[in-house]
């Protein structure tokens, strides 16, 4: 004997069919929109990204870079497509793992380890200090003071030579990673650093003459500016 559908069963079946059709239409619309968005974003292109974190001033090695593919519309301006073009250059900023490597984040080709980090219009000046290791890191700011007459040559007095100079490098035992040359292969012994910390600071061209004069006739020291 054939079983007859009840009114509730027929309503349930019709509702199920309607919901299935609606879900199908929604899925079709989503796929269509995704396809349209992909077409607008363009084909996928290779982009060089950092495979590991890289500190500012570090020289990029091929092992620290990798290639990922992303839609052309999402590729950052100036992004590298070939690892060989980025390897061997110094990073002007910290790079996080997975971050795209662009032309503006790297130093000029064939520049020295310090010159490659100096922005246009500024100069790098080395200042020996009595700071304890690790007290100052690149990116900190310091005031540079000169004390004249400390050795008996006239009335002692102190002058502020430069205010708020940015620290480019901290050379000596307090350098990141414990490397005397801060990972750049720099020899700090020639700068009179010894076991002390030498700061390489960024100054304006007008300040470098005053600093050189103060370094010749006064004792230089630095005061750390609050963050």
CATH number at residue 50: 3.90.1210.10
Cα distance between residue 86 and residue 67, in whole Å: 12
Top pLDDT among 94 and 42 is at: 94
Confidence at residue 192, expressed as pLDDT on a 0 to 100 scale? 46
Residue 47: name the closest of 17, 74, 8 by CA.
74
Confidence at residue 173, expressed as pLDDT on a 0 to 100 scale? 65
Residue 221: name the closest of 128, 98, 118, 136 by CA.
128
Q: Given 59, 75, 105, which residue is the final one in a domain?
A: 105
**Residue carrying the six token digits 């002692």:** 156
Whether 161 and 206 map to the same domain: the answer is yes
Whether 124 and 97 map to the same domain: the answer is no
pLDDT tens figures, 93-119: 889 999 999 988 888 776 677 887 888
24 within domain boundaries: no
Whether 123 and 205 map to the same domain: the answer is yes
Whether 151 and 211 map to the same domain: the answer is yes
Q: Given 105, 129, 149, which residue is the final one in a domain?
A: 105
> What residues make up the domain containing 83?
44-105
Whether 91 and 122 map to the same domain: the answer is no
Residue 108: name the closest of 118, 99, 123 by CA.
118
Residues with Cβ within 8 Å of residue 165, at least 6 apart in sequence: 141, 142, 143, 144, 201, 202, 203, 207
Whether 216 and 154 map to the same domain: the answer is yes
Confidence at residue 34, expressed as pLDDT on a 0 to 100 scale? 65
Torsion sign over Cα 88, 196, 220, 213: negative
pLDDT beyond 70 at 193: no
**Please, which pLDDT band fits residue 18 given cuts at 50, 70 and 90?**
confident
**Average pLDDT across the chain, whole number:** 81
Confidence at residue 88, expressed as pLDDT on a 0 to 100 scale? 87
Least confident of 19-23, 91-95, 122-126, 162-166: 19-23
Give the start-end residues of each E strand in 51-151: 65-71, 123-129, 141-148
Q: Given 105, 131, 153, which residue is the final one in a domain?
A: 105
Total domains, the chain: 2
- Give the pLDDT mean for 199-208: 93
**Residue carrying the six token digits 């350098």:** 175
pLDDT beyond 50 at 180: no
pLDDT beyond 90 at 2: no
pTM: 0.57
Confidence at residue 37, expressed as pLDDT on a 0 to 100 scale? 60
Whether 169 and 217 map to the same domain: the answer is yes
The single-letter DSSP state of residue 73 is G
pLDDT beyond 60 at 183: no
32 within domain boundaries: no
111 within domain boundaries: no
4 within domain boundaries: no
- Give the pLDDT mean for 34-45: 68
- Give the pLDDT mean for 190-198: 59
Confidence at residue 111, expressed as pLDDT on a 0 to 100 scale? 66
Give the start-end residues of each E strand in the chain: 44-50, 65-71, 123-129, 141-148, 157-171, 197-203, 219-224
211 within domain boundaries: yes
158 within domain boundaries: yes
**Residue carrying the six token digits 């400390």:** 150
pLDDT beyond 60 at 9: yes
Whether 136 and 97 map to the same domain: the answer is no
Confidence at residue 36, expressed as pLDDT on a 0 to 100 scale? 61
Cα distance between residue 68 and residue 145, in whole Å: 49
**Please, which pLDDT band fits residue 26 given cuts at 50, 70 and 90?**
confident
């Amino acid at each position: 004997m054939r079983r007859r559908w009840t009114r509730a069963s027929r309503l349930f079946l019709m509702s199920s069919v309607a919901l299935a059709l609606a879900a199908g239409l929604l899925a079709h619309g989503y796929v269509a929109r995704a396809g349209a968005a992909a077409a607008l974003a363009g084909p996928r292109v290779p982009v060089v990204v950092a495979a590991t974190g890289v500190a500012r001033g570090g020289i990029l090695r091929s092992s620290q870079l990798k290639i990922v593919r992303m839609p052309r519309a999402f590729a950052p301006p100036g992004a590298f497509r070939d690892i060989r073009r980025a390897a061997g250059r110094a990073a002007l900023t910290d790079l996080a793992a997975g971050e795209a490597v662009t032309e503006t984040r790297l130093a000029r080709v064939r520049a020295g380890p310090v010159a490659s980090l100096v922005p246009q219009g500024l100069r790098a000046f080395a200042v020996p200090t009595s700071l304890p290791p690790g007290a100052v890191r690149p990116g900190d700011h310091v005031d540079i003071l000169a004390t004249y007459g400390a050795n008996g040559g006239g009335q002692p007095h102190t002058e502020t030579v430069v205010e708020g100079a940015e620290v480019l490098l901290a050379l000596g035992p307090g350098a990141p990673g414990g490397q005397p040359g801060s990972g750049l292969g720099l020899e700090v012994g020639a700068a009179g650093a010894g076991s002390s910390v030498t700061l390489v600071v960024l100054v304006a061209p007008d300040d470098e003459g005053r600093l050189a004069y103060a370094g010749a006739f006064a004792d230089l020291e630095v005061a750390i500016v609050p963050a």
